[in-house]
Amino acid sequence: MTVNRTAPRIDVPRGLAGVVVTDTEIGDVRGTEGFYHYRQYSAVDLARTRGFEDVWHLLVHGALPDARGLAAFTAVTAARRALPDEVRAALPAIAAASRVSGPLSGLRTALSLLGAAEGLQPVYDIDAGRRRADTVAVCAAVPTLLTALYRLGQGLDPVEPRVDLSYAANYLYMLTGEVPDPRKARAVEQYLIATIDHGFNASTFTARVIASTGADVAACLSGAVGALSGPLHGGAPSRALDTLDAIGTPDRIDPWIRERVLAGERIMGFGHAVYRTEDPRSRMLRGIAEGFGGPRVAFAVEVERQVTAILAELKPGRELHTNVEFYAGVVMELCGLPREMFTPTFAAARVVGWSANVLEQAADPKIIRPVARYVGPRPPAEIPPTEIPPAQIQHAESVSD
C-alpha cells in the first residue's frame, strides 16, 4: 500500500473568514456598508416599523404577513408557549444543576428534553410543513424555558405564559411576573428583532451543520445554543455594562481606557468581526436608549465618544466603533432585565433566525462534510505486517461480533 504525499495544499483563512460555504435567501450582512437585511428588507427598518411576529413570519415563511395572516400566525405561536408536563416537572432539577452556569446552560438540556417530549422527528424524515411546525413549537417555548429557569434559580415560581401578550411583552411578563410598560416592551421587541439573524455567525453555522445531518429541530437549536454560550460569541452585553461600572465617572474615562488599550486589552462593546463602520444595530439601540434618557444613558454616550476618539488616536487607520452589545446592555438594563438574562434574551431572538437556517438547510439533502489538512508527523508508506500467534488469532475470532 502506498500513501499519496502530493495532495494539493489549499490555503484557508483562520476561522474560515470570508469563505463562502453555501447560498442563502434568509439575509446578509454588508460589513463595509454598515448594513444588514432579512430577506429583501432592511433589518433596522423592520425593527423600527414591525413587530416580532411579523419578522418571525418573514423568516420562516418567506414573506411579511397581511393583517389576517399575522393574527393567525400570532395565535399559533402563542398557543405553543406552554410546556409539556414532562418538561415542566424537570425544570427545577435543570435549574438547580445550572445554578452557577445560568439559564443559557440550562436551556441546552431543556431543549433536548423538549424535543423528546414533543416527539420531534429528524428533519430528514419529515416534509417542509412539519419542519416549520416543529420550529414554531420550539421557538415559542424558548422564552418560557428561559424565564422559568431564571426564576427557579432565584427561588421563585415560574410564571405561566399568556396568549394575549406579544412575544416580547410575554417574555418580560414571565420574567418579572408583571405586565410590562408598553414602552419597555417595545424597546425589548426592537432589540429582539434587530438580533434575530446576522449572517453566518458561529451559532448559525452550527445549527446548519447539525441540520445537514438530518437531525431533529431541537438538536439543531441546542447545538446552536452551545455555540452562543461561548464568550467570544454571545457573552458581551453584560460585560459592556461591567465596563461602564468599572469606569464609574466621566473623569475616569480617558485614563481607564488608555491604560487598557496600551496594555493590549479589548474594550468590551467595541469592534466587530464583520463591520468596518458603525454597527447599524448599535446606532438604533443608542437612539432607543437616548429616548429613555437619564444619567446612565448620558454616561454611556460619553464613554462611546471618548473611547472612539482614543482608539482613533492610539490605533490610527483602524476604525473601531460600538457594536450591538454596548447599547444592548444599556437598553436591557433600562427595561429591567437582570444582567444574567442578557445573553439568554439574545438567544430568545436568535432562535428564530437559527430556525430559518435549519429549514433552508434541511431542504438540501447534502451533509456538510469539509476536510482538514493534516499537518502532523508523516505516517510510513506501508504498515509492516505483525506476526500473531495462532492461539491469539483464534481467541480474537471467538469474541468478535
The residues annotated as belonging to the active site are 272, 325
Q: What DSSP line would sit under 79-118, residue for residue?
A: HT-SPPHHHHHHHHHHHHHTTTT-HHHHHHHHHHHHHHHT
Q: How many residues does the chain have?
A: 401
The DSSP symbol for 35 reads E
CB neighbour burial string for 150-182, b if at least 16 within 10 angstroms, e if fewer:
bbbbeeeebbebeeebbbbbbbbbbbbeeebee
Cα(first)–Cα(last) distance of the chain, in Å?
A: 27
Distance of CA 275 to the CA centre of its chain: 18
Inter-residue contact 329 to 342 (CB < 8 Å): yes
CA separation, residue 250 to residues 289, 304, 332 (Å): 18, 11, 22
| Cα 117 from Cα 87, distance rounded (Å) | 7
Give the closest residue to 33 by CA, choosing from 284, 281, 325, 280: 280
The DSSP symbol for 125 reads G
Q: What angle do CA 239, 149, 211 make, to 5 degrees?
A: 80
Phi and psi dihedrals of 50, rounded to 5?
-125, 165
Give the closest residue to 94 by CA, choosing from 119, 79, 114: 114
Strands 35-38, 41-42: pairing is: antiparallel
| Amino acid identity for residue 195 in this structure | T
